[in-house]
A and B are shown apart, each in its own frame.
Chain A
Amino acid sequence: MATRHASALARTAIAPSALVLFLWMIVPLGMTIYFSLLHYSLLDPGNESFIGFLNYRYFLTDPAFFTALFNTLKLLGAVLALTVVGGILLALLLDQPFFGRGIVRLMVIAPFFVMPTVSALIWKNLLMHPVSGLFAWLAKSVGLRPIDWFAEAPLAAISLIVAWQWLPFAALILLTALQSLDQEQKEAAEMDGAPPISYFFHIVLPHLGRAITVVILIETIFLLNVFAEIRVTTGGGPGLQTTNIPFLVYAQALLQFDVGGASAGGIVAVILANIVAFFLVRMIGRNLEA
């Protein structure tokens, strides 16, 4: 559609963005790879030396790594489960017309727009505090022992907070997909006398398949990198119970000042993300054909 004149101009128009993003990709990644092969500690500056893959050995054999890995996956799994199931239910609910639906929708969407540090601190203090928090009060009113979330089930607490933040995203995406369900398909199913449950499983769910795939994929990208909520509530603890891979790397870099080791960790995180993405896309690749 374009003439020669426009094509040349187009290339100059794309170049700055492409260049800037290319540098943003290559430079830090390249440097991280480079650092990961060095002994480089900010506590011992000027004494950098090449040590090959030693940092990787240390990082990967460190028991902390495995804990962090499992925590990462546990967090990912829990939040995905909560948000996808919750999202479907919310989408079904919001698809029905009822009085004040618009306002309810706004209320459901709101958590996504709250900054992570606020969410985390409000949940930790106002809601989950074992003595004065609202949950504690609720438990005591029905005769249950209040849970000290951040001591007894810190990862669960974090999962809950993150799930609360991402539920609106899943709900919105799934609602959008739901509303694109052809009105005529619905009516055809009615004419065929399909009961609601069977209608849901045989028509609605397959139609949502693609949207669910997208939700899982996008959430995964972000959930592998949960950071702020952890830093602001538990600092990775107690012990390592809420340390995930990103936090582990952060701790090594900016708290222990081990640049070499942390860099190796960073690269491991990148590889991990790629592996997860690869399997995810493969597993549900069919649904994603654009």
Chain B
Amino acid sequence: MSGRIVLRGVSKSFGESTIIRSLDLEIEDGAFVVFVGPSGCGKSTLLRLIAGLEDASSGRIEIDGADVSHVPPAKRGLSMVFQSYALYPHMSVRGNIGFGLKMAGMPREVIRQKVEKAAQILNLSDYLDRKPRQLSGGQRQRVAIGRAIVREPKAFLFDEPLSNLDAALRVQMRLEIAQLHESLRTTMVYVTHDQVEAMTLADKIVVLNGGRIEQAGTPLELYHHPVNLFVAGFIGSPKMNFLAAEVRSVGPEGVVVALAGGQEIAVPVMPGHLTAGAKVTLGMRPEHLRPADRGELVGEVAVAERLGGETYLYLRVPEQPLLVVQTDGGNATRVRERIAVGIERETCHLFDSEGRSLPRLLRHPLADMPRPTDSPS
């Protein structure tokens, strides 16, 4: 039994509006794939298409080699954890977890054993006879997960499961879900709008925007080699700084661009079709900008956000939008001070006038690293 999921030419329209345009995607068996993107990008819709809760307007969906495009959800062999947990309020925890098995017609004794085993794994053994309304948010979440696990599906689907939890609980549950994947090795498809969850949990991230896949790849691949402005701005927090620039010259060592203020930087990317004079966008992540005495960018600090471990300085640089610079927590720069920030050419990104990124000359060593926990199968 394999949890390999393949989508070919899948699209979805509701009446006049098209949510998902013809989309192709392959999810390997056992992978943890995260769909991420802004509100309305279609990630939840895509998940529901895989689940069978919606019919695709066109295209094919395959699970474990079989075409399930017209198969109802019950028969696809999947389990789903909903954002609101969707527990059955009139059933006990035991009833909730065992409901799917009851629907499958398993004998009562078997159901009892499986439910108790799942409860044990999830620390719910003491709560089996309680009703959902008597449980806390985290406990309800676990019941929802338990309900999904116990059916031993080919793949798990998670629809923003952590959105309703407070920050501390969210971190804890994130770890538990990661550990769950470790132990079960089942395919997991996870939807979230939180890119931190995406970065920490995923083997592969699929960035969606306006019903289209902008980029799909490992977390670090997306971080170091975003294919366009959208992905570059979406991944990484605080957001990447984007500065308008113009090409001065191209060569085998990269592209030399000039900023509005006249500063010139040589960016190590393949020139592609760029010529001198072309308008481009220079991207720099806040964590790659450092205060430096002779830095190229000079400006006045507008806001200083001190988190203790690090400090974000918002810089007003002439002729540029507000720049975000990440510095060490011990940095004592104050608002209205003028500082200079140095640009690291190796970590700069360059985007053409259409927002496409120019491929780097050197690929980052970690970008293609599989997660250390992936089984070599």
- Give the Cβ gap from B327 to chain A, nearest Cβ, in Å: 42
Does residue B54 face the partner (Cβ distance < 8 Å to A)? yes
Q: Mark B54-73, 1 if CB is under 8 A from A, else 0.
A: 11000000000000000010
- Give the Cβ gap from A215 to chain B, nearest Cβ, in Å: 35
Complex alpha-carbon distance, A5 and B75, angstroms: 14
Residues of B within 8 A of A5 (CB): 72
- Look across to chain B and name the residue whose beta carbon is closest to the beta carbon of A7: B55
Residues of B within 8 A of A4 (CB): 55
Does residue A180 face the partner (Cβ distance < 8 Å to B)? no
- Give the Cβ gap from B83 to chain A, nearest Cβ, in Å: 15
Does residue A47 face the partner (Cβ distance < 8 Å to B)? no
Does residue B366 face the partner (Cβ distance < 8 Å to A)? no
Complex alpha-carbon distance, A5 and B72, angstroms: 9
Within 8 A of B (CB), among A1-17: 1, 3-5
Residues of A within 8 A of B72 (CB): 3, 5
Which has the most chain B C-beta neighbours within 10 Å: A1, A3, A4, A5?
A3
Complex alpha-carbon distance, A5 and B69, angstroms: 13
- Look across to chain A and name the residue whose beta carbon is closest to the beta carbon of B48: A1
Q: Is the interface of B mostly helix, strand, loop or mixed?
A: loop
Within 8 A of A (CB), among B31-72: 52-55, 72
Complex alpha-carbon distance, A3 and B53, angstroms: 7
- Give the Cβ gap from B56 to chain A, nearest Cβ, in Å: 10
Instruction: Count residues of chain B with CB under 8 A from any CB of chain A.
Output: 5
Report the interface size class on chain A.
under 10
Residues of A within 8 A of B54 (CB): 1, 3
- Give the Cβ gap from B17 to chain A, nearest Cβ, in Å: 15
Complex alpha-carbon distance, A3 and B14, angstroms: 12
Complex alpha-carbon distance, A3 and B70, angstroms: 10
Complex alpha-carbon distance, A4 and B71, angstroms: 11
- Look across to chain B and name the residue whose beta carbon is closest to the beta carbon of A5: B72
Within 8 A of A (CB), among B52-107: 52-55, 72
- Give the Cβ gap from B118 to chain A, nearest Cβ, in Å: 29
Complex alpha-carbon distance, A162 and B52, angstroms: 56
- Give the Cβ gap from B294 to chain A, nearest Cβ, in Å: 56
Residues of B within 8 A of A3 (CB): 52-55, 72
- Look across to chain A and name the residue whose beta carbon is closest to the beta carbon of B52: A3
Complex alpha-carbon distance, A210 and B52, angstroms: 42
- Give the Cβ gap from A218 to chain B, nearest Cβ, in Å: 33
Residues of A within 8 A of B55 (CB): 3-4
Complex alpha-carbon distance, A4 and B56, angstroms: 10
- Give the Cβ gap from A104 to chain B, nearest Cβ, in Å: 33
- Look across to chain A and name the residue whose beta carbon is closest to the beta carbon of B53: A3
- Look across to chain A and name the residue whose beta carbon is closest to the beta carbon of B54: A3
Q: Mark A231-256, 1 if CB is under 8 A from B, else 0.
A: 00000000000000000000000000
Complex alpha-carbon distance, A25 and B348, angstroms: 74
- Give the Cβ gap from A7 to chain B, nearest Cβ, in Å: 10
Complex alpha-carbon distance, A1 and B12, angstroms: 12
Complex alpha-carbon distance, A3 and B54, angstroms: 5
Complex alpha-carbon distance, A4 and B52, angstroms: 11
Complex alpha-carbon distance, A1 and B54, angstroms: 7
Residues of B within 8 A of A1 (CB): 53-54
- Give the Cβ gap from B227 to chain A, nearest Cβ, in Å: 33
Q: Mark A263-275, 1 if CB is under 8 A from B, else 0.
A: 0000000000000
- Look across to chain B and name the residue whose beta carbon is closest to the beta carbon of A3: B55
Complex alpha-carbon distance, A55 and B60, angstroms: 67
- Give the Cβ gap from A9 to chain B, nearest Cβ, in Å: 12
Complex alpha-carbon distance, A5 and B55, angstroms: 9
Complex alpha-carbon distance, A1 and B45, angstroms: 10
Complex alpha-carbon distance, A172 and B341, angstroms: 68
Residues of A within 8 A of B53 (CB): 1, 3
Complex alpha-carbon distance, A28 and B54, angstroms: 43
Complex alpha-carbon distance, A3 and B72, angstroms: 9
Complex alpha-carbon distance, A5 and B52, angstroms: 11
Complex alpha-carbon distance, A118 and B53, angstroms: 54
Q: Mark B166-203, 1 if CB is under 8 A from A, else 0.
A: 00000000000000000000000000000000000000
- Look across to chain A and name the residue whose beta carbon is closest to the beta carbon of B73: A3
- Give the Cβ gap from A64 to chain B, nearest Cβ, in Å: 55
Which has the most chain A C-beta neighbours within 10 Å: B52, B55, B72?
B55
Complex alpha-carbon distance, A5 and B53, angstroms: 11
Complex alpha-carbon distance, A207 and B33, angstroms: 50
Known contacts A1-B53, A3-B55, A5-B72; 6 further A-B pairs (Cβ under 8 A): A1-B54, A3-B52, A3-B53, A3-B54, A3-B72, A4-B55
What are 8 A-to-B residue pairs whose CB atoms are below 8 Å? A1-B53, A1-B54, A3-B52, A3-B53, A3-B54, A3-B55, A3-B72, A5-B72
Which A residues are within 8 Å of any B CB, using their own CB? 1, 3-5
Closest 4 CB pairs of A and B: A3-B55, A4-B55, A5-B72, A3-B54
